[in-house]
Amino acid sequence: MKVVICGAGQVGFGIAERLAAEQNDVSIIDTSPRLIQAITDTLDVRGFVGHGSHPDVLARAGLEAADMLIAVTLHDEVNMVACQVGHALFDVPTKIARVRAQSYLQGHWRDLFSRDHLPIDVVISPEIEVGEMVLRRLSLPGAIDTVNFADGQVVAVGVVCLDECPVLDTPLRQLTELFPDLRAVVVAVNRKGRVFVPRSSDALVAGDIAYFIAHSDHVTRTLSIFGHDELPAQRIVIGGGGNIGLYVARELERRNPKARTKIIEDNAARAEAIAQELGRTVVLHGSALDRAILEEAAVGDADTMIAVTNDDRVNILSCLLSKELGAQRMLSLLNDPNYPGFARGLGIDAYVNPRQITVSKVLQHVRKGRIRGVHSLLDGAGEMIEAEALETSPLVGKPLRSLDLFDGMRIGAVVRAGKVMLPRGDTVVQAGDRVVLFALQDKVKRVEQLFRVSLEFF
């Protein structure tokens, strides 16, 4: 596949890194010679210095022969115009744009991105995606990662196995025997940085991060089995009143009337603006690094401190200060891929990475076959995938135990006509079923082949 990416920042770099590693033909455009030099020195991609929406620059990058244009510069208007130019002058089949300003995304302006106006096939809003991730973490505080599949019927969850985890040193096959009605499957384990798909004879050890796929009604119980009985957060302090902080606060007011939320915002004008927009949320003007402001926000009584400023270091330090003051849990926004391991070592419970979330959304549309959803894990070590099984798929029509499924993937759920089924040896996948699975990164191409339209690909 030939792809042109506009924007060589962290998100553009992350997308280019993944696509180039999968042997795609990638060109990347940015106005910064420094960023283009850095990305071409690091990755097997072609770099072009110039404005991402200018036709001559797009032509030099080879857009006339491209299968996809991905516009993820820092400026919404550049991204939108790049897609318009790609459609009008180069007839690019698929156009993806990152749009951050919420005004563009309001429901009554929905026709803006139609083919007759701004022909953008996929609009990605990192703030909304990150905000939804934060809200899921608040509802499942024992999880370090969550993502919904199959219209919310299936949830993939990451959980840390602490020393007191009740199922340590127990072969996974025994979990089925101990909890026969539990609708959850462990599909991946991260053990000291090594990610693998466990066998039924494997056991979890303290310090593992286990990823399971479960029916949405069984997630809380599964977390409890892993030793996490934390209640959903009701007393919440948000450090940072930007688009993400405002979205989370607004949605908490709408979805959870019992939540008591406070926002700390450093910019006086912004603090006043969001205070007028919100109803029950208390808005404090000050720095999330100011101990006096944190005490005024009663962070010591908070269930969760959420740090979502634009500065990773401020987020980390405000979480640590909040923990010292007595906050029960910390959730930090981290853009720099080098920080998560460092932050977890300092005791920050969970983090969200906008780059990883945006890359996951892009990959959903890059993946071949009938791929409905993708979530990249552990900085690209593997992917949670939801795909539709077609009549020609080798998965269809045979019991799973008789299929020669390769190592490095594990099916976690099969959804048929709205009913969620756990995969067993005698499970037979039918055409039209939605399959939710985990695959290591080097096995993703083979997973794509399982869901291709024709047998000629196998």
Of 72, 147, 87, residue with least CA distance to 117: 87
Report the topology of domain 2-124.
Answer: Rossmann fold (3.40.50)
Q: Domain 357-457 maps to which CATH number in 1.10.260.40, 3.30.70.1450, 1.10.3720.10, 3.40.190.10?
A: 3.30.70.1450
Beta carbons within 8 Å of 198's beta carbon, 6+ residues apart: 172, 186, 188, 189, 410
SS3 assignment, position 404: coil
> 357-457: same fold as 130-225?
yes
φ and ψ of 378, to 5 deg: 50, 50
The helix or strand, by DSSP H or E, that contains position 17, with its residue range, turns out to be helix 10-21
Q: What is the pLDDT of residue 453?
A: 54
Dist CA 57 CA 411 (whole Å): 44
Per-residue pLDDT of the chain (458 residues; tens, 9 = 90+): 899 999 999 889 989 998 998 889 999 999 999 999 999 999 999 999 999 999 999 999 999 999 999 999 999 999 999 999 999 999 999 999 999 887 887 777 767 777 777 888 888 888 888 999 899 888 888 888 888 999 899 999 999 998 888 999 999 988 888 888 888 999 999 998 899 999 989 999 999 999 999 999 999 999 999 989 888 889 999 999 999 999 999 999 999 888 999 999 999 999 999 999 999 999 999 999 999 999 999 999 999 999 999 999 999 999 999 999 999 999 999 888 777 777 777 778 778 888 888 888 888 787 765 788 888 887 778 999 999 988 888 888 889 888 877 789 999 999 999 899 989 888 999 999 999 999 999 888 888 888 875 444 44
Side chain identity at residue 411, one-letter code: I
Cα dihedral 181, 182, 187, 190 in deg (nearest 10) = -140
CB half-sphere exposure, 435, CA atoms < 13 A: 28
Report the topology of domain 235-352.
Answer: Rossmann fold (3.40.50)
Q: What is the pLDDT of residue 418?
A: 87
Residues 243-265: b if buried by 16+ CB within 10 A, e if exposed: bbbbbbbbbbeeebeebbbbbbb
209 and 161 Cβ atoms separated by less than 8 Å? yes
Beta carbons within 8 Å of 412's beta carbon, 6+ residues apart: 154, 156, 185, 187, 212, 213, 214, 422, 423, 436, 437, 438
Q: Give the end-to-end CA distance of the chain in Å, rounded to a whole number.
A: 19
Q: What's the predicted TM-score (pTM) here?
A: 0.81
**How many residues belong to the chain?**
458
- Six-digit token string for 25: 């033909």
Q: Which CATH architecture has domain 130-225?
A: 2-Layer Sandwich (3.30)
Dist CA 168 CA 208 (whole Å): 10
Q: What is the pLDDT of residue 364?
A: 79
Q: Spell out the domain ranges in the chain.
A: 2-124, 130-225, 235-352, 357-457
349 and 330 Cβ atoms separated by less than 8 Å? yes
452 and 369 Cβ atoms separated by less than 8 Å? yes
Dist CA 167 CA 63 (whole Å): 53
Dist CA 253 CA 281 (whole Å): 8
Beta carbons within 8 Å of 109's beta carbon, 6+ residues apart: 103
Q: What is the pLDDT of residue 368?
A: 66
Of 111, 25, 7, residue with least CA distance to 68: 25
Distance of CA 138 to the CA centre of its chain: 15
